[in-house]
Amino acid sequence: MVWTRPGTEGVVEEVELSPPGPGEVQIKVAAAGVCHSDFHLSLGHFGNHRFPTVLGHEGAGVVEAIGSGVEGVSIGDRVALSFLPRCGSCRQCLRGRPNLCEPGSKAAFAGTMLDGGYRMHRADGAPLQQFLTLGVFAEHTVVPARSVVKIPDQVSLEHAALVGCAVVTGFGAVRNVGKVGPGDRVAVIGCGGVGLQVIAACAQAGAERIVALDTSAAKAELALAQGATEFASSAEAPGPFDLVFEVVGRTETIELAWRLLDSGGSVVVVGITEGGVEARIRSIDFASEKSLLGSFYGSGDPAAQIEELAMMVALGQLDLHRVVSHTCNLEGINDAFARMARGEGARTVVLF
């Protein structure tokens, strides 16, 4: 499915796919989650230079071709995909932040492969960007070998797709940034695909109180099933809290998160905002040792975390069945974006 300019619906097209180059693999896509970041980009919120593009960055499938120099993966392997292919040698990787890998980020945000080239082209030869190096809203795609994470046979490819983005993002924010522990009072603003994983991770960490906040009362049952101890509308948030996870990406919810903090508490902003969005907080609150923290893609080693979380799914320690509210084919992605705009449902997964 191709988006040619911001603010328009995606259209299914036949495109040319080049074979994998050195250090790359070709994937037969089996499942792709529809994430809010895809929706943001389709509307032009990350800039009008990101078109034409094939969206989709939460995917899983089967390796069907391998470029030169690739080791540790074979044709037929079942894999989840990481959208930030770490190099292991740049400044950020050496500082223990491979989720911020410099060459990986450059390619991901340019929609290219690591060599700066394109593997998808329209019928007229025009290059297509692949969102975050993946472009999994397609039957087949070519990705960096560094993006491939083998998964246990017990994990469905539908669930493996979720592990590659929503799960690693939510669990990483809780474990690596918030460092939630027993006795903590936690609020989670936003009960979408990532917010539900934040709730599950807080419950696994032993938080004493987990209040799920959302404008849609229809999400209460699902939030409680994920481990929330209470559900409330964002306007009725009962604070204060030791930790507040903002998983929406809006001015008003970031500011609300800050107001809900107790002394010594931290806001962890997980939601991706539109470019140019600002939030205002009271600077005097820093004297109460309140902290405002960012989190991106689990704030750790995405590939290693995907492998660990997939094993948790395989062992029955993490249940992803309930968080998929809709499934569809490629043509259903536009409807999934419309549901997202209305705040309906949890995760939609495209099944091939």
The C-alpha atoms of residue 125 and residue 139 are separated, in whole angstroms, by 19
Q: Which amino acid is at 199?
A: I
Q: CA–CA distance from 334 to each of 7, 12, 32, 117, 196 (Å)?
A: 11, 11, 14, 28, 22
Token pair belonging to 142: 């070519």
Residues 207-216: tens digit of each pLDDT: 999 999 999 9
The C-alpha atoms of residue 265 and residue 180 are separated, in whole angstroms, by 11
CATH class of 170-295: alpha beta
- pTM of the shown model: 0.95
Residues 263-274: tens digit of each pLDDT: 999 999 999 988
Buried b (16+ CB within 10 A) or exposed e, 327-342: eeebebbeebbebbee
Strands, sheet with 241-246, edge to edge from the N-terminal-most edge strand:
230-232, 209-213, 185-189, 241-246, 261-269, 291-294
Handedness of CA 72, 73, 78, 83 (dihedral sign): positive
Residues 239-268: tens digit of each pLDDT: 899 999 999 999 999 999 999 999 999 999
Grade residue 348 by pLDDT with cuts at 50, 70 and 90: very high
With a cut of 80, say whether residue 234 has pLDDT above it: no
Q: Write down the CATH number for the domain with range 16-150+320-351.
A: 3.90.180.10
With a cut of 90, say whether residue 12 has pLDDT above it: yes
CA 48 remoteness from chain centre: 21
Grade residue 277 by pLDDT with cuts at 50, 70 and 90: confident
pLDDT score at 239: 84
With a cut of 90, say whether residue 236 has pLDDT above it: no
Structural domain spans, the chain: 16-150+320-351, 170-295
CB 21 within 8 Å of CB 28? no
With a cut of 80, say whether residue 67 has pLDDT above it: yes
CB 350 within 8 Å of CB 329? yes
Over residues 276-294, mean pLDDT: 95
Longest dimension (CA), the chain: 60
Task: For the chain, give the mean pLDDT.
Answer: 96
